[in-house]
């Protein structure tokens, strides 16, 4: 390693440490504000098996889950049941996610699952008889990831993300 590379690395490391310290301070300010609400979108790019994270817990749906994935299904007794206002929700979490279960059961966390960029409500039958208006490249993981990020199925529309458009909608009209 030459001197120039060492100095560059040291400066970048110092800048990263300073930035992370400021981000942590900002985050701690938010946790002290009981009015704060946030939206967190996790995009795990194919590295996440959501069906083994949020698992059906009632007997019938759990049996379907277990039949669909006999080698991957988590034993029911190991799952963490979820409750809504003290009542069973019908779902459970993976045993490695007790903190998420605690947040959900206390009303501080919600799951939005099984979402995607469909153009209109669609059934299996409407797809089979080719009557469904589907987004382009429905079975292409990369294309669907791009569509999910923008929520725009019209390829001629400007490429903007849904979160940016949502934030813009809160601006006064003269600033949009």
pLDDT one-digit tens code per residue, 95-146? 999 999 999 999 888 888 777 677 788 898 999 999 998 888 877 877 777 7
Longest dimension (CA), the chain: 68
pLDDT at 76: 96
Q: Do you know the residue count of the chain?
A: 176
State how far the Cα of 176 lies from the Cα of 169, in Å rounded to an integer. Answer: 8
In the chain, which stretches have pLDDT less than 70? 1-31, 42-48, 116, 153-155, 176
Instruction: State the virtual CA torsion across 94, 96, 99, 105 in degrees, nearest 10.
Output: 20
What pLDDT is recorded for position 97? 94
Give the per-residue pLDDT at 56: 94
**Residue with the two structure tokens 């001197």:** 3
**Residue 150: CB partners within 8 Å, gap ≥ 6?**
159, 160, 161, 162
């Amino acid at each position: 390693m030459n001197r120039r590379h060492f100095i560059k690395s040291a400066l970048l490391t110092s800048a990263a440490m300073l930035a992370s310290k400021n981000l942590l301070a900002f985050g701690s300010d938010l946790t002290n504000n009981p009015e704060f609400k946030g939206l967190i979108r996790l995009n795990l790019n194919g590295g996440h098996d959501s069906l083994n994270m949020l698992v059906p817990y009632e007997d019938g749906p759990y049996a379907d889950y277990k039949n669909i994935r006999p080698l991957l299904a988590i034993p029911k007794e190991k799952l963490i049941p979820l409750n809504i206002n003290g009542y069973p929700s019908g779902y459970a979490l993976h045993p490695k996610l007790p903190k998420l279960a605690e947040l959900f059961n206390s009303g501080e966390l919600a799951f939005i699952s099984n979402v995607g960029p469909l153009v209109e409500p669609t059934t299996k039958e409407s797809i089979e008889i080719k009557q469904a208006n589907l987004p382009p490249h429905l079975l292409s993981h990369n294309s669907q990831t791009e569509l999910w990020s923008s929520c725009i199925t019209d390829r001629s529309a400007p490429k903007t993300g849904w979160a940016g458009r949502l934030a813009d909608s809160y601006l006064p009209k003269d600033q949009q």
